[in-house]
Copies of this chain bind each other. A is one copy, B any other.
Amino acid sequence: MKSFSIVFSRLLIVVFVSFLGCKNDTSKDITTNEAVEVLKDFTQYVNPFIGTSNFGTTNPGPIAVRGMANVSPFNVAGPQNLPLEKDSRWLSTPYVHENTFLTGFSHVNLSGVGCPELGVILAMPTTGDVETNHLNYGSTYSKEKATVSYYSNHIDKYNVKVEATATTRVGVSKYHFPAGKSNILLNLGLGLTNEEGAMVKVVSPTEIEGMRSVGSFCYYKPEEAYPVYFVARFSKPADTFGVWKTPRTYDGVEGKWMGYNGKNRLKENYTKEVVGDSIGAYMRYNFDKPSTVEMKIGVSYISIENARENLEKETANKTFDAVLADTKNDWNQHLSRIEVEGGTADDKTIFYTALYHTLIHPNTLNDFNGEYPKMKTRETLKTDGTRYTTFSFWDTYRNLHQLMSLVYPEQQSNMVKSMLQIYDESGWLPKWELNATETTTMVGDPAGIIIADTYLKGIRDFDIEKAYQAMKKSATQLENNPLRPGLKDYIEKGYLTTSTIHSGSVSTTQEYNISDFAIAQLAKALDKKDDYNTFSKRSISYRNLFDKEFNLLRPKNEDGSWLTPYNPEYGANFVENVGFIEGNAWQYTFMVSHDTKGLIDLMGGDDALANQLENVFSKKQFDMANEPDIGYPFLFKYIKGKEHKTDALVQQLLSTYFKNTPDGLPGNDDTGTMSAWAVFSMMGIYPVSPAEPSYAIFPSKFDKVIIHLNNTYYKNNRLILSKESTPEGNKVKVNKEIYKNHFITHNAITSSK
């Protein structure tokens, strides 16, 4: 991406808004020279409640585009919320739509993930005396409303209306208190993360600062737990303030001398740091009439000073309403990159909410001043562009980055640059990076797939030689390789055996194959012929694991024999399985889209593959909620004569799993991967084979889809996909021409007339 931006103005219905006026960093990336009249409010089609049930693990709280801060209602603590209560089960979201007991609003959260993390810095307005135990101060709520960058509810117990919005790094809340004694609690004990420990200090009657320890995502790597810092500012000075701490309960003789053993302590008007696992601070008001207080909480992963600067630079002197208007406007700018015509209102809502979900993660890690923490040691580094984080690559390499490359290439470029920063800092590309920790969650070596895919699509403003070197490192370093355990067996035998790793020998082999395919494709583009040959060969080694007996993949033992006995259906529904991670042979066998032709040969021809693929669906082995098989519906496009099976199947899956309701996602959104699937599927194109710059193409859900292209990267200013009714049925039109093939290259789609 060029270092300067040709910023254009967009005309809203009544107001003229310049990008320059918007402080959300991501807007810096938006570059186009096409003047577009944005006459619509696309944000009206976002329903933030979609995905807040059925384990979608999204939350309805306000967030800016790729924001660091997010003000989520927190309703997963306390027995009132059973069975979806955070301490009684593995629960990875601060908010569940069917729960009723609210204990605050958390200010850093993850969206659509499968492990509990963050969900900390909880604010809660209450009235009456200061009560700091969430089980006591919690309340039911009503009149819940959520739109883009806005959430509101009414806390029943206190008759307090809450409104919330956010900028990139600041959560902004507005509390409408009745007359009388009112409190704003900042609870640093409660959280979704399984880490503990915090510090808090009241700086003045209008400011509180502190930090909270988080980490151990998926109960891994506790030694990499890290702090998130915050500064909270209040629009009205508190009449009194204080901090609290509930210490542990002592055993032994000392406990007998402590009348206060384990009891909560309030420290009124105390102005020093308090540290502990269960601590908090409060601001207290005595209103003679109903009054509002606005609270801004700036966050940072670097320091309290940076949290304060983030708060000041993004929200100083801005009212709640002004912040809301700016953030909503920025969302509209982003959502308007794709315009759709036709479809029902629900279709539009499902579509734009999905697009919204793809613009949450990866999110911003760096502070306003560019500072961000170095991997693991967390020394302070500085970035020019945005340093993105929350890279759930095992999920997102399949479609989310392809969506970014097409619609937001300036963001995708920055994501690749962030990946290279991580490589510089840690010596390895990321796999599941979160806030400068490598969580090492899931398997495979997906970063290189994303890099190759990005580069091959013409987004090349990053150091490709470094990237290539990084990709080759994880593909070739046999010892102490965190990304590719079992690499020696993989290279020597062509596959991991049931003895190589604890579980997932087949699926890991497949993941390495796809990564090697990506290296080969990139090697070809970079004219590295030997590597192209080597990695091309490596990329199809899964064939060694194809068992004609089942016409499916099957694990092999160390001696080369098949794992026996063998039931290919075993392993569905996340049952641990020696051959496959989060799946079974049905859900993995076809995950070789880069070699579908090879698979056809292995299976015995087009019909054999078609039959077996149809079996996946008829045997109910297809899992819409898990990544390995989400490309399956598009594989029919590879099978001569079966190509149109995709079209109906996609529409059927869309209508079954994607709805304008809280349970309107098939399961975990997986940091936007499910949503990216919906966006592509509804538009009528899908990037079936990662690191191949092409899309399967099929009829859209809508009559017309207009993608405004960034022609810093692409020749055309826009891509129009539309339906053309013909005597032979609906055809897909790409821009002005009816498109006849079943795949279309990235180059064609971004440059054809």
Q: Which residues of A contact B (CB under 8 A)?
A: 87-90, 194-199, 211, 213, 216, 219, 222-227, 245, 247-248, 250, 252-254, 257-260, 263, 265-267, 269-277, 373, 376-379
For A269, what are the chain B residues with a Cβ–Cβ distance below 8 Å?
A: 376-377
Nearest-neighbour CB distance to chain B for A281, whole angstroms, equals 14
Q: Is the CB of B379 within 8 A of A271?
A: yes
Q: How far is the CA of A229 from the CA of B376 in the complex (A)?
A: 26
A270 (CB) vs chain B CBs: closest residue: B377
Q: Is the CB of B223 within 8 A of A275?
A: no
Q: Is the CB of B258 within 8 A of A277?
A: no
Given contacts A87-B252, A266-B223, contact A199 B272 (CB under 8 A): no
Q: Is the CB of A259 within 8 A of B377?
A: no
Q: Is the CB of B272 within 8 A of A275?
A: no
Nearest-neighbour CB distance to chain B for A203, whole angstroms, equals 11
Q: Is the CB of B194 within 8 A of A258?
A: yes
A198 (CB) vs chain B CBs: closest residue: B275
Nearest-neighbour CB distance to chain B for A238, whole angstroms, equals 14
For A199, what are the chain B residues with a Cβ–Cβ distance below 8 Å?
A: 199, 273, 275
Q: Is the CB of A197 within 8 A of B378?
A: no
Given contacts A265-B222, A266-B223, contact A245 B197 (CB under 8 A): yes
Given contacts A219-B258, A377-B270, contact A89 B253 (CB under 8 A): yes
Q: Is the CB of A267 within 8 A of B223?
A: yes
Q: Closest 6 interchain pairs by CB?
A: A197-B275, A223-B265, A219-B257, A222-B260, A197-B276, A272-B378
Nearest-neighbour CB distance to chain B for A113, whole angstroms, equals 15
For A219, what are the chain B residues with a Cβ–Cβ distance below 8 Å?
A: 254, 257-260
A86 (CB) vs chain B CBs: closest residue: B254
Q: Is the CB of A211 within 8 A of B257?
A: no
Q: Is the CB of A247 within 8 A of B197?
A: yes
Q: Which residue of B271, B277, B376, B379 is within 8 Å of A378 (Cβ)?
A: B271
Q: How far is the CA of A245 from the CA of B223 in the complex (A)?
A: 8
For A226, what are the chain B residues with a Cβ–Cβ distance below 8 Å?
A: 272
Nearest-neighbour CB distance to chain B for A227, whole angstroms, equals 5
Q: Is the CB of B197 within 8 A of A253?
A: no
A257 (CB) vs chain B CBs: closest residue: B219
Q: How far is the CA of A247 from the CA of B252 in the complex (A)?
A: 19
14 extra interface residue pairs, beta carbon distance < 8 Å, beyond A213-B275, A227-B275, A248-B248: A87-B254, A90-B253, A90-B257, A196-B247, A196-B276, A197-B247, A197-B275, A211-B275, A222-B247, A224-B267, A226-B272, A271-B377, A275-B275, A277-B277
Q: Is the CB of B87 within 8 A of A227?
A: no
For A248, what are the chain B residues with a Cβ–Cβ distance below 8 Å?
A: 196, 248, 277
Nearest-neighbour CB distance to chain B for A680, whole angstroms, equals 34
A258 (CB) vs chain B CBs: closest residue: B219
Q: Is the CB of A274 within 8 A of B222?
A: no
Most B C-beta atoms less than 10 A away, residue of A88, A259, A266, A275:
A275
12 contacts between A and B (CB under 8 A): A87-B252, A88-B253, A196-B247, A196-B248, A197-B274, A199-B199, A211-B275, A216-B258, A222-B258, A222-B265, A224-B267, A227-B275
A377 (CB) vs chain B CBs: closest residue: B269
Q: How far is the CA of A252 from the CA of B377 in the complex (A)?
A: 31
Q: Is the CB of A254 within 8 A of B194?
A: yes
For A224, what are the chain B residues with a Cβ–Cβ distance below 8 Å?
A: 267
Q: How far is the CA of A224 from the CA of B243 in the complex (A)?
A: 11
For A277, what are the chain B residues with a Cβ–Cβ distance below 8 Å?
A: 248, 276-277
Q: Is the CB of A272 within 8 A of B197?
A: no
A188 (CB) vs chain B CBs: closest residue: B275
Most B C-beta atoms less than 10 A away, residue of A211, A226, A247:
A247
Q: Is the CB of B377 within 8 A of A274?
A: no
For A265, what are the chain B residues with a Cβ–Cβ distance below 8 Å?
A: 222-223, 225
For A271, what are the chain B residues with a Cβ–Cβ distance below 8 Å?
A: 377-379
A279 (CB) vs chain B CBs: closest residue: B197
Given contacts A197-B247, A248-B248, contact A227 B273 (CB under 8 A): yes
Q: How far is the CA of A292 from the CA of B196 in the complex (A)?
A: 37
Q: How far is the CA of A148 from the CA of B14 in the complex (A)?
A: 80
For A257, what are the chain B residues with a Cβ–Cβ distance below 8 Å?
A: 90, 194, 219
Q: Which residue of B88, B259, B263, B272 is within 8 Å of A227 (Cβ)?
A: B272
Nearest-neighbour CB distance to chain B for A279, whole angstroms, equals 8
A90 (CB) vs chain B CBs: closest residue: B257
Q: How far is the CA of A269 from the CA of B224 in the complex (A)?
A: 11
